[in-house]
Amino acid sequence: MKNKELIKEWLQRAGSNLKIAVDGKTSEAVYYEDLCFNAQQATEKALKALFILYEVSIPKTHNIGFLLESLEKNTDITITKNIKQSLILTEYAVQSRYPGDYYPVEHDDYIEAIERATETLEWVNKIVDSKFTEKD
């Protein structure tokens, strides 16, 4: 399959970001905001792997909702309600990473971010695995 290695690399990077998010609270000096950024990055990279899989141009955005809408519009993928919930991660892409005007991320928000990112990465991996199996 064309781009198979590139897709795998995007998914490995997504897995790396998720691992950092999950394991990253090593001390009080680590901000939940930074860990949630990695959860957002895991989700974004996983979704962008689907664009490559379906040979659709990757939108240059960090907006998870936009990526999901674009996938539904440009592929045969049906996005479930649970996966659509990952759009909450968009807020961690930029605004919460820098000091300023935002609400601090609490432990419960962090747990939700990890759950959303994990579920999305697992969902994307299933789609990719099924497509690789079809074409191999």
CATH number, position 55? 1.20.120.330
Give the total number of structural domains in the chain: 1
Write out pLDDT tens, residues 50-78.
999 999 999 999 999 999 999 999 999 99
Spell out a b/e string for 51-76, using b for 16 or more CB atoms within 10 Å of the CB, else e.
bbbeeeeebeebbbeebbebbeeebe
Q: Domain range spanning residue 118?
A: 4-135
Residue 136's pLDDT band (cuts 50, 70, 90): low
**135 pLDDT more than 80:** no
Mean pLDDT of 68-89: 96
**113 pLDDT more than 70:** yes
Write out pLDDT tens, residues 115-134.
999 999 999 999 999 988 87
Say which DSSP state 80 is in: P
Are 93 and 40 in contact, with CB atoms under 8 Å apart? Answer: yes
pLDDT of 1: 52
Say which DSSP state 3 is in: T
Nearest Cα to Cα of residue 96 among 32, 43, 8:
32
